[in-house]
């Protein structure tokens, strides 16, 4: 497609990067096994990680043994690679880390991770008799995991074929649902977001047979992510199958354009004297959504002030998926539906993705969101940023939005945070180097969370800095959002969550280094 790129050095570098990517996408099940175990474990995460890997290996070795002993193990000796893969697929078998086993996809990794979590939670506290006391605590977890996973594997051997049949039936039903199913998926996915349940809908579709099953370049591929990447890699495919991207392509439309239109509508509806402050917040949130696909700051803002606006947003989101599906759009991304990923996974892939449809559909959706939101805000006098009765202008946090609509998610404790005055004078972070800014922010975040003695753990997800505290009443959330550049703030029990986008992980590591603590 691009003759200028056809040189040996560039091709070597790009194929090298593809090999790096394949290392992750080809091994998602084992990554889930280790990742879920580590993510759920509250302490001794190293022991949990080792047990996750060991449990995964035990499960598939036991399944291989049971398939062989029962005569169900497919013999692929003498078959060509393509024939062997199809024969395994027809028998619901596959090879994982070189082990021929039942095809559990990422469900297998999730089962292992959750099992290891419960085993780890119990085993890490056990004190064994003195003669074998060396194996107490974290050392006992892998041993207990092996025993427990052997039992779980036997259960899976008998139960999974029934589950797999059910998944196949659901997959066919989803694929046959057509454009109406695409619209309902988009509507439901946004509707589940306030409850934190949207990942339960997204990831099975992206990574398992629930999202569909295709034969691409002679290989059996399940899940929309794997199917999309396989389609990009197959030079014989000139247009991506829209059934692969039907739950994905329309998200670029409302992540990049729709929510930007909503932000502009809220800015235009702000009181003139508050418009400058509201604009700086709203346009920052809109830019984050447009570039990276991180939508929380803006979505939870209008969910908080007016659930009716969010309901309209959910309908418009479903319609965006529907329109892109009907137009035959073939653009998708593993995650993050922003401009950066559109360029990487759409534009640079050429005509086969029909990436231009994002702009053809997106620009009208900008104006649809703008006029619909502006009409509703003015008609019903919704208190969007810049229209508040108080003098404060801010974006609502996830916690505020959920409390407004009555959603409770693992809340522990009842004390409300109290305002705490910072001993640090205000500072212009733009005058500091990146390293100085990170260090200064880390110091001030430590103080804003009550100081080192009040902090029990520091972690981060993709967009959030997560700091566990002993006493949340001394946490200064106002300083965090107004002076320390957080895009939002939320609580989950004694865990304080500050939204910093991709910067969250950098701050996490700096705070850990200052406090002298590890993961």
**Which residues participate in catalysis according to the annotation?**
461
Taking the alpha carbons of 453, 459, 463, 469 in that order, is the dihedral positive or negative? negative
Residues 6+ apart with CB under 8 A from 491: 399, 411, 417, 472, 497
Please, which residues have CB within 8 angstroms of residue 199's CB and are 6 or more apart in sequence? none
CB 250 within 8 Å of CB 359 = no
Tell which phi-psi region holds residue 517, choosing left (phi > 0), alpha (psi between -120 and 50) or beta.
Answer: beta
Token digits of residue 183: 């619209």
Alpha carbon 300 to its chain's center: 17
Reading the block at residue 331, the tokens are 């653009």
Nearest CA-CA partner of 223 in 243, 235, 209: 209
Tell me the sheet residues that pair with 457.
468
Q: Which helix (DSSP H) or strand (DSSP E) does residue 490 occupy?
A: strand 488-492
Quick one: 86 exposed, middle or buried, by C-beta within 10 A (0-12, 13-18, 19+)?
Answer: middle
Instruction: Count, in order, helices (H) and strands (E) of the chain.
Output: 21, 8
Q: Do the Cβ atoms of 199 and 335 come closer than 8 Å?
A: no
CB contact at 8 A, 212 and 174 = yes
Token pair of 494 as six digits: 């004694």
Nearest by Cα to 88 from 219, 226, 229: 219
Take residue 184 and report the two structure tokens written for it: 């309902």
Between CA 505 and CA 461 the distance in angstroms is: 7
Spatial distance between the Cα atoms of 141 and 47, rounded to a whole number of angstroms? 7
Q: How many CA atoms lie within 13 A of 245 on its CB side?
A: 34
> Which residues are within 8 A (CB) of 469 and not within 5 positions of it... i.e. 6 or more apart?
449, 450, 454, 455, 456, 475, 494, 495, 496
Helix (H) or strand (E) holding 90: helix 81-90
Residues 5 and 3: their CA atoms lie apart, in Å, by 5
Instruction: Give 307: exposed, middle or buried? Use CB within 10 Å, 0-12, 13-18, 19+.
Output: middle
The answer to whether the Cα torsion of 79, 85, 90, 93 is positive or negative is positive
Strand order in the sheet with 464-469: 455-460, 464-469, 495-499, 488-492
């Amino acid at each position: 497609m691009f003759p200028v790129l056809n040189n040996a050095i560039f091709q070597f570098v790009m194929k090298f990067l593809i090999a790096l990517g394949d290392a992750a996408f080809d091994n998602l099940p084992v990554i889930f096994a280790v990742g879920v175990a580590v993510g759920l474990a509250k302490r001794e995460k190293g022991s949990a990680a080792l047990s996750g890997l060991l449990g995964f290996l035990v499960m598939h070795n036991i399944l291989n043994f049971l398939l062989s002993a029962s005569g169900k193990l497919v013999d692929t000796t003498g078959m060509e690679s393509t024939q062997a893969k199809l024969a395994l697929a027809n028998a619901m078998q596959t090879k994982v880390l070189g082990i021929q086993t039942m095809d559990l996809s990422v469900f297998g990794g999730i089962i292992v991770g959750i099992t290891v979590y419960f085993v780890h939670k119990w085993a890490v506290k056990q004190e064994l008799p003195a003669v074998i006391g060396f194996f107490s605590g974290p050392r006992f977890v892998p041993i207990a995991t092996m025993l427990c996973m052997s039992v779980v594997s036997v259960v899976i051997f008998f139960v999974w074929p029934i589950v797999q049949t059910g998944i196949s039936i659901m997959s066919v039903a989803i694929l046959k649902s057509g454009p109406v199913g695409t619209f309902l998926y988009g509507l439901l996915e946004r509707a589940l977001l306030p409850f934190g349940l949207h990942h339960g809908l997204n990831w099975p579709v992206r990574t398992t047979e629930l999202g569909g099953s295709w034969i691409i370049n002679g290989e059996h591929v399940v899940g929309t992510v794997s199917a999309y990447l396989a389609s990009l890699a197959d030079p014989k495919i000139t247009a991506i199958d829209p059934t692969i991207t039907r739950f994905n392509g329309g998200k670029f439309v409302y992540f990049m354009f729709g929510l930007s239109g909503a932000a502009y509508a809220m800015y235009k509806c702000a009181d003139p004297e508050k418009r400058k402050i509201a604009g700086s917040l709203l346009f920052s949130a809109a830019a984050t959504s447009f570039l990276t696909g991180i939508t929380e700051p803006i979505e939870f803002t209008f969910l908080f002030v007016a659930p009716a606006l969010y309901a309209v947003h959910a309908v418009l989101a479903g319609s965006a998926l529907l329109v892109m599906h009907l137009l035959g759009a073939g653009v998708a991304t593993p995650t993050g539906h922003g401009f950066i990923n559109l360029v990487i996974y759409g534009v640079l892939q050429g005509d086969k993705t029909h990436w231009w449809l994002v702009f053809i559909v997106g620009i009208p959706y900008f104006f649809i969101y703008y006029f619909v939101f502006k009409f509703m805000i003015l008609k019903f006098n919704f208190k969007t940023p810049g229209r508040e009765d108080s003098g404060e202008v801010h974006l609502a946090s996830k916690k505020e939005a959920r409390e407004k609509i009555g959603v409770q998610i693992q809340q522990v404790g009842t004390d409300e945070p109290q305002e705490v005055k910072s001993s640090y004078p205000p500072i212009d972070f733009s005058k500091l180097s990146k390293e100085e800014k990170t260090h200064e922010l880390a110091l001030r975040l430590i103080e804003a969370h009550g100081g080192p003695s009040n902090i029990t753990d520091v972690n981060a997800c993709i967009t959030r800095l997560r700091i566990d505290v002993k006493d949340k009443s001394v946490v200064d959330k106002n300083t965090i959002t107004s002076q320390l550049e957080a895009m939002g703030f939320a609580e989950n029990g004694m865990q304080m969550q500050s939204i910093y986008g991709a910067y969250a992980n950098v701050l996490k590591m700096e705070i850990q280094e200052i406090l002298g603590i590890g993961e």
